[in-house]
Amino acid sequence: MDEEVPDSVTEKTGNSAVTRLAIKMAHEKMQELQEERELKAKIILLNSTGFSPGSRPKTSRSPESLPIWPVKI
């Protein structure tokens, strides 16, 4: 991580490496939380459209599966 650590932060911890590690860990945690929020939003969106896991997309029925009706000629 190449970010400059403010002197005031380094002075409080007494160790710039610890400060950089804490900043890196906080950044990673924020990214994880953001990914979780995005995943939850996708799940909510899919649920609102009637999607359920394992379901197949609705397609038109093949002619072979349609019932055969008697026709008078």
For position 65, what pLDDT does the model report? 65
Buried b (16+ CB within 10 A) or exposed e, 51-67: eeeeeeeeeeeeeeeee
For position 4, what pLDDT does the model report? 65
**Structural domain boundaries in the chain:** 7-54
How far is 46 from 16, CA to CA, in rounded Å? 45
Residue located via tokens 């950044």: 27
For position 50, what pLDDT does the model report? 72
For position 3, what pLDDT does the model report? 62
Per-residue pLDDT of the chain (73 residues; tens, 9 = 90+): 456 656 666 666 667 888 888 899 999 999 999 999 999 998 888 888 776 666 555 555 566 666 666 777 6
For position 54, what pLDDT does the model report? 61
